[in-house]
């Protein structure tokens, strides 16, 4: 028995439907909220969150062999590599900026002048109200000799696994249905 990814009920014959752009395995009651996907065989064997229907329909000839492996080959892998190489902004970027600025004895206005940016931007960054653009991030890292990013390469390789197979939270636990 499989749990419906929307309402959480046990179902013996789940249907793969596309709801709001996401492919879900749902019971027959919840199937009416989406469009049934016919390529259920390629996505049902996968326990990770992926757009297997788009990688199977790519023009590359190795689409069927890449779905069985852990994501190697095909044009979808090139797109994923781009994001794996990107660094994520650290959650405590605001504290890092403020701490480095204060340790150098600079005011927000002085730092802004040295970076050729507005003081209001520095205030917003230190409060965590806005995220720095790539250019401002580089300026801050160079000037304050700090790192504002966390590498997403190693930790980003772990695959997402849905909670429905383990009895965890489903969409049905969160969403209120309008009947």
Provide the CATH number for the domain around residue 139: 1.10.260.40
162/145 same-domain check: no
**E strand segments, 20-160:** 22-26, 35-36, 87-89, 149-151
* Dihedral pair phi/psi, residue 48, rounded to 5°: -105, 160
How much is the pLDDT for 64? Answer: 41
> Is 165 among the domain residues?
yes
Report the distance separating Cα 127 and Cα 149, nearest Å: 17
167/79 same-domain check: yes
16-59 pLDDT, tens per residue? 998 888 888 889 888 888 888 875 444 444 444 444 444 344 44
162/147 same-domain check: no
How far CA 19 is from CA of 15, 23, 154, 179, in Å, comes to 12, 6, 31, 17
Provide the whole-model pTM.
0.41
121-145 pLDDT, tens per residue? 999 999 999 999 989 999 999 999 9
30/8 same-domain check: yes
Of 52, 50, 14, give the one whose Cα is nearest residue 34: 14
Higher pLDDT among residues 126 and 62, named by residue: 126
97/43 same-domain check: no
């Amino acid at each position: 028995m499989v749990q419906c990814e929307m309402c959480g009920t046990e179902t013996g014959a789940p249907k793969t439907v596309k709801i709001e752009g996401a492919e879900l395995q749902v019971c027959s009651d919840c199937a009416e909220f989406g469009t049934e996907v016919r390529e259920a065989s390629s996505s049902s064997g996968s326990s990770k969150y992926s757009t297997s229907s788009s990688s199977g329909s790519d023009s590359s000839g190795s689409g069927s062999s890449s779905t069985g492996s852990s994501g190697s080959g095909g044009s979808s892998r090139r797109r994923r590599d781009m994001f794996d190489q990107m660094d994520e902004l650290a959650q405590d970027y605001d504290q890092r900026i403020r701490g480095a600025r204060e340790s150098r004895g600079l005011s927000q206005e002085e730092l802004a002048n040295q970076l050729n940016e507005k003081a209001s931007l520095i205030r917003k960054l230190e409060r965590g109200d806005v995220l720095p653009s790539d250019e401002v991030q580089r300026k801050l890292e160079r000037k304050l000799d700090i790192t504002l990013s966390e590498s997403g390469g190693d930790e980003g390789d772990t695959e997402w696994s849905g909670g429905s197979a383990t009895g965890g939270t489903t969409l049905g636990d969160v969403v209120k249905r309008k009947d």
